[in-house]
Amino acid sequence: MSITYLAAMREPLLPVEQERDALRRWQEDGDRNALELLLRSHARQAWSQASRWTNNPVHLEDLAAEGMIGLMRAADNFNRALDVRFSTYSSWWVMTSISTALTRVKTVIDIPPRAYIDARMGRLIGEEAAQAQMAIHGQVALDAPLGEDGIPAADRLPSPDLTPEEAVVARSSQGLLERMLHEALDALDPVEAEIIRRRKLKTMPDHVAVVATDLGMPRERLRQVENRALMRLRRQLLESGFHLALLN
């Protein structure tokens, strides 16, 4: 969802009881109205954090949107047994989402978020500082020497494209991983395989309440089946020769 700065500032914070009820309805029932109520009442967090990094209206709106995504993740993960307000817990998620998006939103060349923040805070010196400023502003002649060794800036910018050899290896590795995953899924119970596909392999995973309803089982039972299926899937992959090195 999107909400303007003025609308966010006008939204009142929820009382504790209403906040906890909205969290319960979202986490247990997948109630999107409850989620929207939570997001609207805490949207000021996203806008406040975003305004720390830019006064550009376009960038501000993009960063605030990332902060809203952080709020949604906080709503998914909040432990209702904790004796804290949701705003205290969600502040970390909002900050993390916005800081992760900073370089994508505000720089010409992608750099690690930590490097961007260090550059903004003046913590980088010498060549590192020059390279960070080049990435942030994109205002350097590509044939101009950069750094003490005099190497042109263009020679320091690695191409994002794979070489033909790397492309062949990547396609081969991807195909191997897909075959191993399909074979491991086929070894699971059909219900287990469906749960894994819907809860772990979809770009937008289905909410646990939706899957539980579709399969006609309680949510707690579904979580048990999901955990068991993940362990069986892991064992099947290891037995078929899967290794973390295949992901490189």
The predicted structure's pLDDT at residue 245 = 45
- Checking if the pLDDT of 32 tops 70, the result is yes
* 44 or 154, which is more confident: 44
Phi, psi of 116, deg, nearest 5: -65, -45
Residue that has been written with the tokens 């309440």 in this structure: 209
In the predicted structure, residue 241 carries a pLDDT above the cut 70: no
User: What's the pLDDT tens digit per position in 148-204?
Assistant: 555 555 555 555 565 665 565 556 667 767 888 888 888 899 999 999 999 988 888
CA-to-CA dists, residue 130 to 106, 118, 120, 125, 138, angstroms = 17, 12, 12, 8, 11
Most confident listed range (92-96, 100-104, 141-145): 92-96
Domain boundaries, the chain: 5-106, 113-156, 164-247
Q: Would the CA dihedral through 239, 223, 202, 68 be positive or negative?
A: negative
| Residue-level pLDDT at 27 | 92
Query: Considering the chain, what percentage of its residues have pLDDT values greater than 70?
Result: 66
pTM of the model: 0.47
Q: Average per-residue pLDDT in the chain?
A: 78
| Per-residue CA distances from 60 to 10, 52, 147, 154 (Å) | 18, 9, 33, 30
C-alpha span between 11 and 37 (Å, rounded):
10
Residues 156, 131: contact at Cβ < 8 Å?
Answer: yes
Residue 51: what pLDDT?
A: 87
At 122, list the tokens. 């003046």
Reference 1, options 34, 48, 50, 49; nearest CA is 34
To the question of domain 5-106 being in CATH 3.30.1330.10, the answer is no
Q: What is the 3-state secondary structure (H, E, C) of 157-197?
A: CCCCCCCHHHHHHHHHHHHHHHHHHHHHHHCCCHHHHHHHH
The CATH number, out of the four listed (3.40.640.10, 1.10.3480.10, 1.10.1060.10, 1.10.10.10), of the domain defined by the range 164-247: 1.10.10.10
pLDDT in tens, 58-81: 788 888 898 999 999 999 999 988
